[in-house]
């Protein structure tokens, strides 16, 4: 199954009050294994960058000033995500900005039925724990040492690893190459099926023959004061 893990960076928290999408990063998974295919783009928001937002992701108004508009890259983005389920952390936030931008340039919005929210998954698995991306990466031993500031593609790559852990862990991809499903099927073959394919052999007799018993008796009679006869009376 093909899935897209994605993350966004924005100028703020609410597109309805003028905030805009400024970066998106997408990572492709097939059968929960990263394929190496990704989509990444910065966008010119055509508005100032609030200081608080810049402190989070480090994207300045000057840096974004020569970047394409969302409308200029929307077709490439839609071609990449296709009709795959879309995985995000606190997904309603990312979906909200993505759908606002799609609507603003006259494209159909993404069906919310395609949304997979790793935040909700984590809350069910670890109730009462911290559920930020940083905290969950630490919990599952995912290296985030190179994450100084938020970045959409980097965060999507970290989230892809986390998503695999939250939905079954590394055993999903035990095989080398593409035959992931086939390998899992082989490993998970029921013992009953294996047993049914075995040849059942008749039980072999394990009794000593008369000749073997006579040889054993002659051998014992040659022993000089065996230990098991010490203290025995005639």
Backbone angles phi, psi at 100, to 5 degrees: -65, -45
Please give the Cα distance from 217 to 206 (Å, whole number): 18
Q: Are 95 and 105 in contact (CB under 8 A)?
A: no
Binding-site residues for a divalent metal cation sit at 7, 9, 155
Pseudo-torsion of CA 178, 184, 186, 190, nearest 10°?
-170
Residues forming the active site: 150
Binding-site residues sit at 7, 9, 52, 57, 155
Please give the Cα distance from 50 to 53 (Å, whole number): 5
Between the alpha carbon of residue 183 and those of residues 33, 47, 172, 192, 198, the distances in Å are 14, 51, 9, 18, 22
Question: What does the chain come to in residues?
Answer: 234
Binding-site residues for substrate sit at 7, 9, 52, 57, 155
């Amino acid at each position: 199954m093909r899935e897209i893990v994605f993350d966004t960076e924005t100028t703020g928290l609410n597109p309805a009050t003028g905030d805009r999408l400024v970066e998106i990063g997408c990572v492709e998974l097939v059968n929960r294994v990263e394929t190496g295919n990704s989509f990444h783009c910065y966008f010119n928001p055509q508005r100032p960058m609030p200081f608080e937002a810049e402190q989070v992701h480090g994207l300045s108004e000057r840096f974004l000033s020569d970047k394409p508009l969302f409308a200029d890259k929307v077709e490439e983005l839609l071609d990449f995500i296709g009709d795959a389920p879309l995985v995000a952390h606190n997904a309603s936030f990312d979906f909200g900005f993505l759908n606002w931008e799609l609507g603003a340039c006259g494209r159909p919005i993404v069906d919310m039925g395609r949304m997979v929210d790793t935040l909700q998954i984590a809350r069910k698995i670890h109730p009462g724990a911290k559920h930020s991306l940083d905290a969950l990466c630490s919990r599952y031993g995912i290296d985030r040492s190179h994450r100084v500031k938020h970045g959409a593609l980097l965060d999507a790559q970290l989230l892809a690893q986390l998503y695999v852990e939250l939905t079954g862990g590394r055993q999903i991809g035990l095989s080398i190459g593409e035959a992931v499903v086939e390998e899992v099927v082989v490993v998970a073959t029921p013992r009953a099926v294996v047993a049914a394919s075995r040849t059942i052999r008749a039980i072999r007799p394990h009794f000593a023959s008369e000749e073997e018993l006579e040889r054993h008796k002659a051998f014992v009679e040659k022993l000089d004061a065996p230990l098991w006869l010490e203290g025995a009376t005639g």
